[in-house]
Amino acid sequence: MITETWFKRDGRWQLVASHVAVLPSERKPIAVTPKSYRSIAGEYELTAGIRYVITLEVDQLIGQRTRRSKEELLPADENTYFAKGTTRGEKVFVRDAGDQVTQMLDRRENNDLVWKRVR
């Protein structure tokens, strides 16, 4: 999308401003094993009273933050998921040496909020 602003001065049109905006396309998920979904389902806590609960509903992975709407999570890879219909932000799941998920990083513009797994 291009927006231009023109000004007529002394009988001539002059371009005074131009802006180009690119609308991002929706991300495409990859296929992962159901085991991946099961390993990250659980509860994650940011601070006391602020939790993000991930559940399996049929074949969908659903996340819900305290006092917010549910969102479907789609896989970008085995440990990284994004909310369906969004173009920014992702959930990165951190595993320990035993392959157990211990944290969820809520990544926005390369800044991470660290959520500790509590269940």
Q: Which of 89, 88, 29, 86 minimizes the C-alpha distance to 61?
A: 29
Question: For the whole prediction, is pTM greater than 0.85?
Answer: no
Work out the pLDDT band at 23, boundaries 50, 70, 90: confident
* pLDDT tens track for 34-62: 888 999 999 999 999 999 999 999 889 99
Helix spans in the chain (H): 34-40
Flag whether pLDDT at 105 surpasses 90. Answer: yes
pLDDT of residue 83: 95
- In CATH terms, 34-117 corresponds, of 3.40.50.10490, 3.90.25.10, 2.40.128.50, 3.40.50.1110, to 2.40.128.50
* pLDDT tens track for 71-103: 999 999 999 999 998 888 999 999 999 999 999
Q: Where are the domains of the chain?
A: 34-117
Flag whether pLDDT at 70 surpasses 90. Answer: yes
CA 23 to chain centre: 17
pLDDT of residue 1: 87
CA atoms in the 13 A half-sphere facing the CB of 35:
3
Work out the pLDDT band at 33, boundaries 50, 70, 90: confident
CA–CA separation, 117 vs 104, rounded Å?
7
